């Protein structure tokens, strides 16, 4: 499913279990759908996978964070008035913790105690 806000051009992509085509006769909608399909096919090729339902998250981010000629900014900026952020530096983790990380296991070790503590608190409620 493709939902696009026509003012900001921000799009939301979601996998559906079934498909019902709705004919809108709008060229811009068909172009946007074609762009998304092309981006998704490229992502699947780059990542050597056929799991498109995972790829739509990455395609959505890429589409929303790229410059849109019609609105002269990215849809993300148009929607939220700030640039999209990626990576651990935009997280709430302290800088000294981020700097010590060398691999994914380091991140999981940092997050696991928080999850365990949260689960213990929830089980006491």
For the chain (125 residues), the mean pLDDT of every run of 10, in chain order, is: 91 86 69 90 94 92 94 96 84 83 82 56 51
Look at residue 106 in the predicted model and tell me its pLDDT: 83
* Segments making up each domain of the chain, as ranges: 1-86, 88-125
Look at residue 86 in the predicted model and tell me its pLDDT: 81
Q: How far apart are CA 8 and CA 96, in angstroms?
A: 37
Look at residue 124 in the predicted model and tell me its pLDDT: 54
Look at residue 101 in the predicted model and tell me its pLDDT: 86
Look at residue 28 in the predicted model and tell me its pLDDT: 72
Residue 87's region, left for phi above 0, alpha for psi from -120 to 50, else beta, is left
Look at residue 24 in the predicted model and tell me its pLDDT: 60
Tokens representing residue 26 in the block: 């709008």
Angle at 87 between CA 86 and CA 88, to 5 degrees: 135
């Amino acid at each position: 499913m493709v939902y696009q806000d026509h003012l900001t051009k921000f799009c939301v992509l979601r996998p559906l279990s079934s498909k019902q085509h709705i004919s809108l006769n709008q060229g811009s909608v068909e172009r946007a759908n074609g762009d998304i399909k092309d981006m998704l096919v490229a992502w699947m090729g780059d990542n050597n996978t056929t799991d498109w339902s995972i790829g739509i998250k990455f395609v959505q981010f890429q589409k929303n964070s790229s410059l849109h000629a019609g609105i002269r900014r990215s849809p993300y900026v148009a929607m939220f008035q700030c640039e999209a952020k990626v990576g651990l530096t935009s997280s709430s983790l302290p800088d000294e913790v981020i700097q010590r990380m060398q691999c994914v296991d380091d991140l999981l070790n940092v997050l696991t105690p928080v999850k365990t503590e949260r689960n213990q608190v929830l089980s006491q409620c």
